[in-house]
Amino acid sequence: MKGLRTMPARFMRGTPLALTEIEMQLIPGFSPRSTAVLRSRYKYTGTDCDCRFCTQTTEKKNCCGSAGCICLPELIAAGCVSYEELLRLFLSEIQLQTFASRIEKLLKESEANPMFFRNAEHRKRFQSLRRSALFPLINLSEAYAAAVFLLTSDDFLWKQSKDFINQSCIRFKDIRIHGVDLDGYAIFHIARDLYHGTDHIAISELSDPELINDKLLRLIINAFLIRRHGIAAVPT
């Protein structure tokens, strides 16, 4: 029927060619293609990222370190960059001192008690979606993955949003959050900001422990890491 929009068929679903099929069906000029697509096709190992093979390494110059490494995405994909190192990289880019101080505190705590997910239920829910062939963009789009990571962390938000998340987008405008608590309110709006690239919640607000407690801040920072580095930033 004229005007009827149908979803593209997924003949390769559940096979190694599924990600390639999705990319080929994207409309040129729309839905920006993530760098995660290319990295997802090849599984990097520590050997692949050995500094001895780096074109930037010479006899007079040793390893440049994670912060300046041109192969940082591959190092992360290979699991060669720890959670603490990702936090340090994030910290090095922060200019607001009050916010930086809070991240430094999280960094010290993570060394003794590393925690990426909000709780066990959050881990189970997100990892289940990650493994599901129904939500392939979790492995392809940093923005999509970061938003889903946050939405799955809150029981109420997930109940309200799950029907508006599909294999191609998240329809934030259709999600109703009336009745959500304060933490859930912050989680929702930051998820939307990360997905759309907006900034309705300011860094100054994240710096205020009365607005964003330490546990919630850790969750938000972890979503930032996913938005920056992709699904490879999530511990297995």
pLDDT tens-digit map of 109-155: 877 777 899 999 999 999 999 988 889 899 899 999 999 999 999 99
Taking residues 184-196, report their average pLDDT. Answer: 95
Instruction: Looking at mean pLDDT, say which of 71-75, 97-101, 188-192 comes out highest.
Output: 188-192
First to last CA, the chain: 45
d(CA 129, CA 133): 8
What's the confidence (pLDDT) of residue 55?
58
pTM above 0.85, yes or no: no
Whether 94 has a pLDDT exceeding 70, the answer reads yes
d(CA 30, CA 117): 32
pLDDT tens-digit map of 34-76: 455 444 555 655 555 566 656 555 554 555 555 556 666 666 6
Mean pLDDT of the chain: 78
C-beta neighbour count of 116 within 10 angstroms: 18
The domains of the chain are located at 118-233
d(CA 145, CA 216): 18
